[in-house]
Structure 1
């Protein structure tokens, strides 16, 4: 996730803007100016001696194969014949974006439509040190916001042991975004779409766990991976100082800062069905936040996110892979501090969101990928938080993607450490920010935001 530094309004103005636009989480605040997290790290291929398609479905990140999940859970420490490799990689993403109607107002420094953009460039430090330490750290240049920022961080210390006679991996993980450490692509950190545009308008409301704290927190969790079937994780997150975030390139105000610690928990169970693997899981995040880092009200905003997820991955002998992934999240919100700071009645505080996402994908011969995804966010009306005729957060739609990855097997003309993906992505909306038609009170239809994005993604 990329958060471009912006002008620093006062905390109260920041809160009023958030409430007026109906953006109850930090994910909403960044939705119009950020791309999705993306990762494809050839230094891991160099370290393991395996081609990209060994760890990634379709030969390109971030969707992991079963082998890739094991590599991540074991701390990125597996090594091939090489005793040493340079743990540096880089990537770049560029795209063309067309929306059904011109965007009014136009995105900053861009045209109302048909924009060709350099979306982002990243440098990765990724690899294992010995048998017990490894990780991934990403520094990203936002081509839209024209600023550098720290990005995904996932650092691990691991060891091996036994639980009731079964093999187990035990780990401690340091990261800066709840779910970025997760090995399954069902949670928000690495969920589909694996690359997204920073140009077209996107829905405002989403649960806090969908990136609302990304790159604005630091956290530590402990986990156990037991018998390659049971995953248990628990830990907590806190907020760095505003000056620290500013130095790192993140928004120093953002949603606000966490009061105390925000606990996070995750469980998952996997089971082989035929030659495929089924995963069923659950996760939870609870946070008390000082909105805009303003403590003058003596209150905090409370978010409680609880989710369930499921996936099934079926590889074939011919190198094809079929996957199904889904998650459901329920978020309870009590925005007591925001309401008090904005002199709004108590009735503005209590609300909730429900999110449902799922995708079906097929990778043919590890080169040609087809994905169809659907998404829905719903919640009760709240005239204090949401604008528009219905004052609701509801949005839904579908995304279809076709992509081509020619060198996932490591057979590229520039060698095995260069990977390329090109693709087309189309998103169509049934509802947008509360309504199908006239969602903004100015006659705009949800379908006006339908977007076609053509992208090129290279990693080396």
Structure 2
């Protein structure tokens, strides 16, 4: 449940979105956008700690999800099947609450029942069915209540079938993943589903322009991918994603109209190489996806919006002898957009918006003292060519947004010695997001005097899992 609102605004523009809303009777408002943003990539599944009889810090950097250690990656790629005993309760739950303050009051409340500033919310409550069945099947199913949108929805799903064989004394894990969000099955924290920030709030302002690949297809698609994990070194994955029926997605609590329906199937591919260097673990990889979309599931034009996404990523993990942990994740994404259907539906003269692109780069680095107290710096930058048809709400007609996220957090019981046993875990933290550019400019980005720094956001959060 990610940046659908950002995706729609990027590719339809405020004028296009309004036009399509009148013609086809749908709108994606701030409330739904908040629901999608707030669930974010947050993951903490203590059922796996009970299953493996290992503390959370064995699988997760800093003792809390979703940032994986090399051992956590291997556990996931082996289909969540490792266990220490014959049975455990395959249920888990988590809750996230936060306080949000922006540098200046927002033009309007971010969602019904909230103010233009100084908001407190129960961001989400999730329940998981998670575990392994024998040595060949495992996964998790997440259901979420969003406290901002005040609605239930299905959330992340990753169901796996795996087998292990050997080729010339090299272990080869062969697996299938049935999931509902591109990259949710990925074992590295470089791709969108599990990327930093690992928890966010719908009440915080966010830029309008965002590549489709950054989460717009989450929870309104179903995908099946096959992968091979060779000698814990080489990873290769290929598969495709489809759109379930509109009524099915609606019953599951997601929005079937935004971004729309996939035309046929959307192929997805992923390669990664992981090795140990200088006491740490290094990964470099590449990924790609090609998606044809009928915006708003409207097929009357006979055209589609075509998105071609590809990029490279890298990560580094190092657990030091004193118990401290260093983690670095990076990604560059290029997205080519051919918005033929959107242009036709909006009556764009001469197809003025049909061919454009977005670039997106992310880099974050964390240091965790004794795997308990951590500091993270995350840089983000989205840019592309100016287009007055797609970005009419920007004074510069540009999608450019950039900034830095600073986070300090503490996880006192990631070692499994919490007051309620190994299953209980908690993280408390503070985030501060600083914008250098927002929707095309640093100053007066909307033509009405608003500056990028007006959206600088302080967030205090508590994240509990059991």
Measured at CA, do residues 369 and 13 of structure 1 come closer, stay the same or move farther in structure 2, by a change above 3 Å? closer
How far apart are 1:198 and its partner, in Å? 1.1
Q: Do structure 1's residue 119 and structure 2's residue 123 form an aligned pair?
A: yes
- The answer for the alignment partner of 2:417 in structure 1 is 411
Find 2:315's aligned residue among 311, 317, 321. 311
- The answer for the alignment partner of 2:205 in structure 1 is 201
Q: Do structure 1's residue 353 and structure 2's residue 358 form an aligned pair?
A: yes
How far apart are 1:104 and its partner, in Å? 1.1
Q: What is the CA–CA distance in structure 1 between the aligned matches of 2:20 and 2:320, rounded to whole Å?
A: 51
* Cα deviations by residue, 1:176-234 (Å, 9 ceiling, x for unpaired): 11001000001101001000111011011111111010001000000000011000000
Find 1:275's aligned residue among 271, 274, 279. 279
Q: What is the CA–CA distance in structure 1 between the aligned matches of 2:33 and 2:381, rounded to whole Å?
A: 16
- The answer for the alignment partner of 1:443 in structure 2 is 449
How far apart are 1:440 and its partner, in Å? 1.3
**Matched residue SS, 1:97:** strand
The 5-angstrom pairing of residues 186-335 of structure 1 reads 186-335=190-339
- The answer for the alignment partner of 1:148 in structure 2 is 152
Q: Do structure 1's residue 59 and structure 2's residue 63 form an aligned pair?
A: yes
Measured at CA, do residues 332 and 99 of structure 1 come closer, stay the same or move farther in structure 2, by a change above 3 Å? same
Q: What is the CA–CA distance in structure 2 between the aligned matches of 1:195 and 1:380, rounded to whole Å?
A: 30
**Matched residue SS, 1:68:** helix
Find 1:94's aligned residue among 80, 94, 97. 97
How far apart are 1:3 and its partner, in Å? 8.7
Measured at CA, do residues 128 and 289 of structure 1 come closer, stay the same or move farther in structure 2, by a change above 3 Å? same
Q: What is the CA–CA distance in structure 2 between the aligned matches of 1:358 and 1:32, rounded to whole Å?
A: 24
8 Å CA contact 1:4, 1:147 repeated in 2: no
Q: What is the CA–CA distance in structure 1 between the aligned matches of 2:154 and 2:33, rounded to whole Å?
A: 18
**Matched residue SS, 2:127:** strand
Alignment RMSD = 2.1
Between 12-21 and 434-443, the greater mean CA deviation after superposition: 12-21
Q: Do structure 1's residue 107 and structure 2's residue 110 form an aligned pair?
A: yes
- The answer for the alignment partner of 2:16 in structure 1 is 16
**Matched residue SS, 2:377:** strand
The 5-angstrom pairing of residues 353-392 of structure 1 reads 353-387=358-392, 388-392=394-398
Q: What is the CA–CA distance in structure 1 between the aligned matches of 2:150 and 2:260, rounded to whole Å?
A: 23
8 Å CA contact 2:4, 2:216 repeated in 1: no
TM-score computed with the length of structure 2 as normaliser: 0.93
Unaligned runs of 5+ in 1: 6-11
Measured at CA, do residues 315 and 105 of structure 1 come closer, stay the same or move farther in structure 2, by a change above 3 Å? same
How far apart are 1:155 and its partner, in Å? 0.5
TM-score computed with the length of structure 1 as normaliser: 0.94
* Cα deviations by residue, 1:227-248 (Å, 9 ceiling, x for unpaired): 1100000000000000000110
* Cα deviations by residue, 1:124-167 (Å, 9 ceiling, x for unpaired): 01100000000011000010000000000001000011345421
Q: What is the CA–CA distance in structure 2 between the aligned matches of 1:242 and 1:71, rounded to whole Å?
A: 35
How far apart are 1:15 and its partner, in Å? 8.7
How far apart are 1:29 and its partner, in Å? 10
Q: Do structure 1's residue 157 and structure 2's residue 161 form an aligned pair?
A: yes
Between 158-167 and 413-422, the greater mean CA deviation after superposition: 158-167
**Matched residue SS, 1:209:** helix
**Matched residue SS, 2:213:** coil
Find 1:185's aligned residue among 177, 189, 196. 189
Measured at CA, do residues 280 and 13 of structure 1 come closer, stay the same or move farther in structure 2, by a change above 3 Å? closer
